[in-house]
Homo-oligomer: A and B are copies of this chain.
């Protein structure tokens, strides 16, 4: 999962950089188990109810897509970094349903980096994440500022 590369610090993220991750297969059992626990709306639990909905079939909760993307970001980026969490999420757009059997891939683009004004030991990296299904359709976009420790606290970006 993790590449055997050096640990990533805030200075290592460069605006415009794009990286790709996956595929991650999503099963019907996972979709139903997640929805049963966190989002038990009928179109996330039952094929018949999904067909009767605007989704045209059983589909994963949008929150499940967020959580799958989070895990791909953790495995691909954060667990090999000085990640310090995130203050929140700027925007999520669910653009196409995630279905049982979908093999999801993720694209991560660095939109912007900036040092913290108040904490010299960290900086922010704003990512745009895109989640694609096997057919190449974008199922979700998610933009969020993540916090990373700086290799050189209080120094200037390199």
- Residues of A at the B interface (CB closer than 8 Å) are 37-41, 43, 53-55, 61-63, 66-68, 70-71, 74, 78-79, 83-94
Contact = CB atoms under 8 A, between A and B. Distances in A.
A93 B84 contact: no
A62 B85 contact: yes
A83 to B, nearest CB: 6
Copies of this chain: 2
Query: Which of A37, A53, A88, A91 gathers most chain B CB within 10 Å?
Result: A88
A2 to B, nearest CB: 12
B87 A38 contact: no
Contacts of A89: 62, 89, 91-92
B91 A39 contact: no
Nearest to A67: B38
Contacts of A68: 38
A134 to B, nearest CB: 21
A38 B68 CA distance: 6
A20 B50 CA distance: 29
